[in-house]
Amino acid sequence: MMNKQLDEAPALEHLLYLTARGDSRAFAELYERASARLLGVCLRMLRDRTEAEDVLQEVFVTVWRRAGDFDSALATATTWLITLTRNKAIDRLRQQRVRVPLEPFHLDTLADERSGPQADAEAGQEYRRLRGCLDTLEPKDRRSIREAFFSGATYKELAERSQLPLGTMKSRIRRALAQLRTCLET
């Protein structure tokens, strides 16, 4: 089990590379390994299973078309997939003109509750590192990062909630992201 978790990141990268070359079997395996976790992101942001499943389908259509855009020097495969998913979910929220939930949430609530690959992913080394690095941030920065990147709140919404100028909120998030990047690279 531990070897499977340690091999997950390179496996996803390899599957993305093969998908970029048009390998439909690799794409199917990529879907099998990543879909539960990505559905969890969609569910958390959209709060509607049908909408979440629709967005997940859009995500994987985009992955099929844009897998060649993935660059392992810039992000891990998981990060790239979650960012793509998050952006698609935000697009859906904006299309619906739905306000982002105001209450903060915990990183633990992101994954779909069904058992499967997501359970392995959460237990994985990358998940623990991300949680550990998030825990090193000041509470206000950690909350801003979670709301911005996991619930889809805009800088403007975050600034209004925190009663801060927009520029201050942008600076806070940029600084926190730089701290996270440094922590994750060590």
102 shares its domain with 171: no
Q: How far apart are CA 127 and CA 119, in angstroms?
A: 11
Residue 5 predicted with pLDDT over 80: no
Bigger pLDDT: 101 vs 58: 58
Burial of 164 (0-12, 13-18, 19+ CB in 10 A): middle
Q: What is the pTM of this model?
A: 0.58
84 shares its domain with 164: no
Rounded average pLDDT over 115-125: 52
10 shares its domain with 101: yes
Q: Which of 25-34, 50-59, 116-125 has the lowest mean pLDDT?
A: 116-125
Per-residue pLDDT at 151: 66
Residue 119 predicted with pLDDT over 50: no
pLDDT one-digit tens code per residue, 152-179: 677 888 888 889 898 888 888 888 888 8
Which residues are CB-contacts of 33 (< 8 A; sequence separation ≥ 6)?
Answer: 8, 11, 12, 15, 117
Residue 115 confidence class, pLDDT cut points 50, 70, 90: very low
Which residues are CB-contacts of 42 (< 8 A; sequence separation ≥ 6)?
Answer: 51, 52, 53, 55, 56, 59, 85, 88, 89
Bigger pLDDT: 59 vs 112: 59
How many domains does the structure of the chain reveal?
A: 2
In a domain, 129, yes or no: no
Which CATH number do you get for residue 58? 1.10.1740.10
Q: In whole numbers, what is the pLDDT of the chain averaged over residues?
A: 80
Per-residue pLDDT at 97: 62
Burial of 144 (0-12, 13-18, 19+ CB in 10 A): buried
In a domain, 157, yes or no: yes
In a domain, 131, yes or no: no
Bigger pLDDT: 26 vs 10: 26
Q: How far apart are CA 20 and CA 27, in angstroms?
A: 9
Rg of the chain on CA atoms, in Å = 16
Per-residue pLDDT at 114: 45
Residue 136 predicted with pLDDT over 60: yes
Per-residue pLDDT at 4: 46
In a domain, 132, yes or no: no
Residue 109's domain spans which residues?
Answer: 2-124
Residue 87 predicted with pLDDT over 60: yes
Report the chain's terminal Cα–Cα distance, integer Å: 25
Residue 7 confidence class, pLDDT cut points 50, 70, 90: low
In a domain, 162, yes or no: yes
Q: How far apart are CA 130 and CA 124, in angstroms?
A: 10
Q: Which of 101, 124, 147 is the last residue of a domain?
A: 124
